[in-house]
Amino acid sequence: MFDLSGRIALVTGAGQSVGEGIAKVLAQQGAAVIVNDLRGDRARKVAAGIVGSGGRAVAAPFDVTDYDATLSHVRAAETALGGPVDVVVNNAGVAEGRVIKPFRELSPTEWRAPIDLNVFGAMNCIKVAIDGMCEAGWGRIVQISSGSARTGQNINQTMYATGKSGIEGFIRHLAAETGQFGVTANNVALGHQENLRDKMSPEMIQQILTTIPIGRFGDPFEVGAFCAYLASDEAGGITGQTLDFNGGSQTR
């Protein structure tokens, strides 16, 4: 079950953390993986790790917000791997050095960046693959979102949440358009992940853990396993959904 042999998967922001876990699990399940990251060193390291473990992967260092770069890198990777992309996992969503400020302090330039990455960046990656998927009569799109898309939180993340809720709506409509072609599209709304430990004080971590019923953060390989399922033949009946992956935290 959940065999991805013969599939070609593009995973964005796959140079570390959640995206790295997704890329590695898809490869373990048999997919050839296009490992995208803005940072070429990270993409190459993850792709080399997959190849070193006997899998198939190529590094694709490009900025997902740049449509022309997305198109040319994906076409080059498809040539290298011998076929068109049939799985897209849009994971890139956190820009390095992103601005974290209350809305009242944001400038119009600052408030566009998270939308560019989370909405237009994700759309670029879908756009370059969607015709091929529809023509093949099979495709899988997995959009990594966040519980913050559906909650109001005083954490200086208004624009990140706007980007995530925007792309969630896009995915629901896209799923309605492409279901007839065998192409599914779903959102996976993550809760707090293990890599937050590096970004927060021990006190803050303890406070957050009290809000998570399973008492721990999410693990990149668990997220990868869920994406592998959604990318599989067996998940063909699930589309247009937003699936929470958050250890039981309440986000609705």
Cβ closest to ligand NAD, residue 127 vs residue 138: 127
Residue type, 4: L
3-class SS at 106?
Answer: coil
Cβ closest to ligand NAD, residue 139 vs residue 224: 224
Distance between CA atoms of 86 and 210, rounded to whole angstroms?
39
Distance between CA atoms of 186 and 191, rounded to whole angstroms?
16
Residue 54 Cβ, how far from ligand NAD at the closest point, in Å?
A: 24
Cβ closest to ligand NAD, residue 37 vs residue 86: 37
**Scanning residues 210 to 249, which ones bind ligand NAD (CB under 6 A)?**
none
Cβ closest to ligand NAD, residue 18 vs residue 185: 18
Spell out where the chain has E strands: 8-11, 32-37, 56-61, 87-90, 139-146, 183-190, 242-245
Kindly tell me which residue out of 4, 23, 47, 95 binds ligand NAD, with binding defined by CB under 6 A: 95
Query: Does the footprint of ligand NAD cover residue 19 (CB under 6 A)?
Result: yes
**x-marked contacts with ligand NAD along 23-62 as a string, rule CB under 6 A:** -------------xxxx--x--------------------
DSSP H or E run through 45? helix 40-52
Query: Does the footprint of ligand NAD cover residue 162 (CB under 6 A)?
Result: no
Our answer to whether residue 229 is catalytic in this structure is: no
Query: Does the footprint of ligand NAD cover residue 63 (CB under 6 A)?
Result: yes
Residues 6 or more apart in contact with residue 173 via CB below 8 angstroms = none
Inter-residue contact 122 to 163 (CB < 8 Å): no
**62, 120, 160, 226: which one is catalytic?**
160
